[in-house]
């Protein structure tokens, strides 16, 4: 294994002892790495439709004053002054991952100080002054939740949740699954992600902090992780963007002081997978149930509009990849096919997609 990988995994193991690598694990560990590729929209949609992780470089997320300026200082100042004074952020702090709330300038002061371990993953910034600093178009112009005129922004607060991600070296975000497809863009720092299909992991005995009674840390072991067909690992660093399918459980280790943004999306090419998951399995995110009907209606409106639109609109929204995903599902023999097709929301989507 290269010196870079040894250093990386030694650091990871010093933060989370379940990540200690044994000699015998090395060949599999190397094979399971997901490498970044240059951004391409058709590739992004193809990967989404197959339910595969995508890690891109060169997807531009411009920060005003960031080009040529000191990006760290521009972002830190933007965060300090970009939220109402009374606003607090929910943080996870220390090795014990204690939860509390903290004023935003204090979060930044501690993050910059570099001595305490802390992490923020749900500081929503839509419609704040901070929102003007970052052009998030590239992270959301395929997201049905952001562009539906009839839902009046309700999805932005309930599902999209565009958030700042701030964390210090040494932070561990323990095992969970978000159940909605996610996007993470890194401005500064580096994180190590381990991801696997939630149900596959559960069958292998892995816990999930949102679903299981976890004591100190969710049950996990690296050797089992490497044997899961769905497992993969990667680092996300400056300028890189991760697209993570919602079926994947993950744990995330901050290797270097990190600043980025993250959000959830519903995209046409991966919608079939999401809908199948939300209908057949449980969902913690798409609650209450009426929300699913609203999301489905927004998807149907979008399909209708794109179907009547120009070729460019079809490419923009990934209509061909959605159709292909639906055709493949129809031709395949998923064990839940029968119950899914009888579900009214799925049936509506399926029909609309086939006609598109």
Ligand X SMILES: O=C(O)CCC(=O)C(=O)O
Residues that bind ligand X in the complex, under the rule CB under 6 A: 119, 121, 165, 167, 173, 178, 182, 184, 191, 250, 252, 262
Count the alpha carbons within 13 Å of 52 in the hemisphere toward its beta carbon: 14
Q: Which is nearer to Fe ion, 148 or 178 (CB)?
A: 178
Q: Which residue is nearest to ligand X (CB)?
A: 173
Q: What tokens does 247 get?
A: 């079926």
Q: What angle do CA 329, 335, 340 make, to 5 degrees?
A: 65
Q: Which is nearer to ligand X, 242 or 356 (CB)?
A: 242
Residue 287: partners with Cβ closer than 8 Å, 6 or more residues away: none
Give me the DSSP letters along 189-216. Answer: EEEEEEEEEHHHHHHTT---TTTS--SS
Name which of residues 163 to 192 contact Fe ion (CB under 5 A). 178
Instruction: Report 91-110 residues binding Fe ion (CB under 5 A).
Output: none
Q: Which is nearer to ligand X, 121 or 235 (CB)?
A: 121
Q: Which of 113, 76, 121 is nearest to 97 (CA)?
A: 121
The phi and psi torsions of 136 (rounded to 5 degrees) equal -90, 10
DSSP 16: -
Closest CA to 274 of 192, 153, 178, 354: 178
DSSP H helix total and E strand total for the chain:
15, 11
For Fe ion, how many residues bind (rule: CB under 5 A)? Answer: 1
CB of 262 to Fe ion, least distance (A): 8
**Residue 195 contacts residue 181 (beta carbons within 8 Å):** no
CA separation for the pair 64, 71 (Å, rounded): 9
| Paired strand residues for 235 | 192
Comparison of 121 and 296: residue with beta carbon closer to ligand X: 121
Closer CB to ligand X, 167 or 247, in the complex = 167
Smallest distance, Å, CB 25 to ligand X? 23
The distance from CA 296 to its chain's CA centroid, rounded to whole angstroms, is: 20
Residue 91 backbone dihedrals phi, psi, to 5 degrees: -125, 160
- Partner whose footprint covers residue 165, from Fe ion, ligand X, none (CB < 5 to 8 Å by kind): ligand X
70 vs 282 by CB, closer to ligand X: 282
When the beta carbons of 46 and 242 are compared against Fe ion, the nearer one is 242
The site for Fe ion (CB under 5 A) is made up of 178
């Amino acid at each position: 294994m290269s010196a870079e990988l040894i250093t990386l995994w030694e650091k990871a193991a010093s933060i989370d002892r379940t990540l200690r690598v044994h000699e015998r694990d090395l060949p599999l560990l190397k094979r399971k790495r997901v490498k970044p590729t240059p951004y391409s929209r058709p590739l992004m949609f193809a990967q989404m439709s197959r339910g595969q992780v995508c890690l891109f470089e060169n997807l531009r997320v411009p920060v005003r004053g960031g080009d040529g300026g000191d990006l760290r200082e521009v972002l830190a100042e933007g965060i300090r002054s970009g939220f109402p004074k009374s606003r607090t952020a929910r943080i996870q702090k220390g090795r014990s991952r204690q939860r509390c709330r903290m004023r935003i300038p204090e979060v930044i002061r501690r993050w910059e100080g570099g001595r305490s371990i802390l992490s923020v993953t749900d500081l929503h910034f839509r419609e704040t002054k901070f929102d003007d600093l970052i052009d998030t178009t590239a992270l959301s112009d395929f997201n049905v939740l952001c562009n539906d005129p009839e839902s009046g922004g309700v999805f932005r607060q309930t599902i999209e949740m565009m958030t700042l991600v701030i964390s210090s070296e040494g932070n561990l975000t323990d095992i969970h699954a978000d159940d909605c497809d996610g996007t993470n863009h890194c401005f500064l720092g580096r994180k190590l992600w381990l991801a696997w299909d939630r149900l596959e992991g559960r069958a292998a005995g892995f816990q999930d902090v949102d679903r299981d009674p976890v004591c100190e840390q969710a049950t996990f072991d690296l050797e089992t992780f490497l044997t899961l067909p769905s497992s993969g690992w990667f680092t996300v660093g400056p300028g890189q963007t991760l697209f993570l399918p919602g079926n994947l459980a993950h744990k995330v280790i901050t290797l270097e002081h990190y600043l980025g943004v993250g959000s959830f999306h519903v995209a046409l090419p991966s919608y079939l997978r999401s809908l199948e998951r939300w209908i057949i399995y449980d969902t913690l995110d798409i609650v209450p149930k009426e929300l699913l009907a609203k999301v489905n209606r927004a998807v149907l409106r979008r399909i209708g509009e794109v179907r009547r639109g120009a070729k460019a609109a079809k490419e923009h929204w990934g209509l061909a990849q959605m159709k292909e995903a639906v055709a493949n599902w129809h031709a395949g023999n998923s064990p839940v096919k029968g119950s899914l097709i009888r579900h009214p929301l799925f049936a509506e989507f399926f029909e609309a997609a086939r006609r598109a």
